[in-house]
Amino acid sequence: VMMGSERRSMVMSEDEKKLTAYHEAGHAVATLHSPASDPIHKATIIPRGRALGMVMRLPEKDQLSMRKDQMKAHLLIATGGRIAEEIIFGKDKITNGAASDIQMVTNLSRKMITEWGMSEKLGRLRYNNDSEEVFLGHSVAQKKNVSESTAQIIDEEVKRFVNEANEAARKILEGDIDNLHRLAKALLEYETLTGEEIKLIIDGKDLNREEDNTEEHNRGNTISSVPKSKKKGSKAGGFKPSPQPNS
Q: Cα angle vertex 216, ends 224, 236, to 5°?
A: 5
Return the axis-axis angle of helices 148-175 and 177-190, rounded to nearest 10°: 80
Sorted by sequence, the CB contacts under 8 Å of residue 101 that are 6+ apart come out as 78, 79, 81, 82
Is 24 one of the catalytic residues?
yes
Helix (H, G, I), strand (E, B) or coil at 100: helix
Of 6, 14, 16, 24, catalytic: 24
Which of 10, 28, 80 shows the shortest CA–CA distance to 201? 28
Which of 47, 46, 79 shows the shortest CA–CA distance to 164? 79
Residues in the chain, overall count: 247
222/73 Cα distance (integer angstroms): 42
- Report in angstroms the alpha-carbon separations of 159 from 66, 79, 107, 142, 190: 21, 13, 11, 24, 37
For 156, phi and psi rounded to 5 degrees?
-65, -40
Q: Which residues form the catalytic set?
A: 24
